[in-house]
Amino acid sequence: MAGGELPGEDDAAGAVGWGRQWVAAPVRWLRMLATEMHWSFVVGVVITYGVSQGLGGSMNRVSTKYYMKDVQKVQPSQSQFYWGITSIPWIVKPLWGLLTDVLPLAGYRRRPYFLLSGFLGIFSMLVLSLYKVHIFLALVLLTAVSASAAIADVTIDACVAQNSISHPSLASDMQSLCAFSSSIGSLLGFVASGILIHLIGPMGLFGLLSITSGLPLILGFILEEPHMPDFDYKKVNQKFLDACKAIWATLQCGAVWRPSLYMYMSLALSLNISEGMFFWYTDAKGGPSFSQETVGFLFSIGSVGSLLGAVLYHHALKSHPFRDLCLWTQVLFGLSGMLDLVLVLRLNLRYGVPDYIFAVVDEGVTQLIGRLKWMPLLVLSSKLCPTGIEGTFFALLMSIDNAGLLSSSWLGGMLLHFLKVTRTEFGNLWLAILVRNILRISPLCLLFLIPGGDPNSSILPTEILNSEDGTEALEGENLELVSLVAKSRDNNT
């Protein structure tokens, strides 16, 4: 052997080299994004999406489910309705966007709102953890937690939207970064949530979540921005009117309202009956009686599926036309719902597949397809934002999506109530699943609303991209971290 090499040394060296490349690839990708849009943008996405919303949001989701079921003792349909109420702050995201764009406080545009977000989250979580409050006050506090997350979220959404306009070729990469951060954070949060609920209960977990809910405080302190002690507050009303005029003019464009209508209908018609499934999962008589740890693990598998969906989209699907992706993902989304039907009817047991194994497959596949369905809509939304009001308009598009999710939740709750699915009665749950699955494929008749061209090209008409009417007063005031202020925007790219 040449050079005295031992058998297998080449294979070992090759394996080590492959491992280094596997680790180095995402590092190089992050460095590229940090170089193009500065490190603070990447850090802001990771903190907001990965830690605050991903890790904290996933634990909050599981703890809220057990809080409603075991502490407040509500029915599945009620829990579904209450979830919709707590999501309302996400529907009014344009309000947060407008406030941060046109109304500085104490001479600062961004810091006060980050601080408000952090303090609101910490206070609400601590009260929920220390006191067993009435259901009405609990909804107020949970809604405040949601508002805290929405206020911080609009900051990063604005950065993503602005950079998607100035770097259209990197729009998919930015959405992939958001998805990766959210999925990894959610994975860790779901894995820990079941164990923590078993050890300290949902109220105890709320106490721990006061930490992640307060993370926007960090961005509030590290965010550098110019101090404006002589800001003329008399201009606030005019700037607000300018923003509203620009938003209205953009919404009248067919290239904007058509895909917006599709996104709303696609989400609203996919009825959310997750609370009915959760109550069935944990029921000792009619369901498989999964423990808290098992439920947390199932949701963590869903996060793995979501992460794989983001990876698949980033590496194989991001260059495909939006319309083609929406077609196949909507079909697969409807078919994946049949797994719930098989599980609830216990057909898996006839073939010797345990409930636990089948539920793991169900959750992973459903979340993977759900992420594939969601990614092109996010990229499309980022490309519909006109220059000058990127942050506010992206928040408006996301609020339309959240209105679709709210409609989905309330319609799902009404379906569960109509079919008499309760805390202990699940005889008609299979029918609710079947109705949901049929409605999931109904948006296919609206696919003509989605643009079918190159996803890497600009979608907005040139006259809107170049328009200064109504946006000139807001130019440069969109939500951005300090490093982004120094980055010059490419014109109409």
pLDDT in tens, 84-107: 888 888 888 777 777 766 677 777
Q: Facing residues of 105 across strands?
A: 108
Lowest mean pLDDT among 174-178, 194-198, 225-229: 225-229
The pLDDT value given to residue 17: 57
Residue with tokens 């939006």: 322
pLDDT given at position 308: 86
Distances (CA, A) of 81 to 53, 185, 272, 382, 485: 22, 26, 10, 30, 42
Question: Which has the minimum average pLDDT: 315-329, 451-465, 476-490?
Answer: 476-490
Question: Which of 21-30, 354-363, 468-477: highest mean pLDDT?
Answer: 354-363
Q: Is the pLDDT of residue 450 over 60?
A: yes
Cα 457 to the center of its chain, rounded Å: 24
Q: Higher confidence at residue 421 or residue 109?
A: 421
pLDDT digits (tens, 9 = 90+) for 157-180: 766 766 776 777 777 788 778 877
- When the pLDDT of each residue in the chain is averaged and rounded to a whole number, the result is 79
Q: What is the mean pLDDT of residues 115-134?
A: 91
Q: Which domains does the chain have, with CATH numbers?
A: 33-225+233-478 (1.20.1250.20)
CB atoms within 10 A of CB 55: 26
pLDDT for residue 383:
75
- Residue from 333, 274, 310 nearest 79 by CA: 274
pLDDT band at 462 (very low <50, low <70, confident <90, very high): low
What is the pTM (predicted TM-score) of this model?
0.72
What does each C-alpha distance from 176 to 18, 46, 149, 362, 372 come to in angstroms?
A: 23, 12, 20, 24, 11
User: Per-residue pLDDT for 255 more than 80?
Assistant: no
Question: Percent of the chain at pLDDT above 90?
Answer: 15
pLDDT, average across residues 27-32: 81
* pLDDT tens digit sequence for 200-216: 999 999 999 998 888 87
> Does residue 391 register a pLDDT over 80?
no
pLDDT-derived band of residue 219, with 50, 70 and 90 as boundaries?
confident
Q: What is the mean pLDDT of residues 374-384?
A: 79
> What is the pLDDT, as a whole number, of residue 388?
60
The confidence score (pLDDT) of residue 80 equals 85
- The CA–CA distances, whole Å, from 405 to 48, 181, 430 equal 21, 22, 22
pLDDT value of residue 101: 66
Q: What pLDDT was estimated at residue 456?
A: 63
Rounded distance between C-alpha atoms, residue 121 and residue 116, angstroms:
8
Q: What share of the chain is helix, strand, coil (3-state, %, to 5)?
A: 75, 0, 25
Is the pLDDT at 52 greater than 80, yes or no? yes
Residue 432 clears pLDDT 90, i.e. is over it: yes
3-state secondary structure of 203: helix
Confidence of residue 126 (pLDDT cuts 50, 70, 90): very high
Higher pLDDT, 382 or 59: 59
Residue 74 pLDDT > 50 = yes
Q: Is the pLDDT of residue 477 over 60?
A: no
Q: What is the pLDDT at residue 415? A: 92
d(CA 152, CA 44): 10
Q: What percent of the chain has pLDDT over 70?
A: 81
Of the spans 242-256, 312-326, 416-430, which averages the highest pLDDT? 416-430
Closest CA to 377 of 420, 437, 338, 322: 322
- Give residue 470's pLDDT: 42
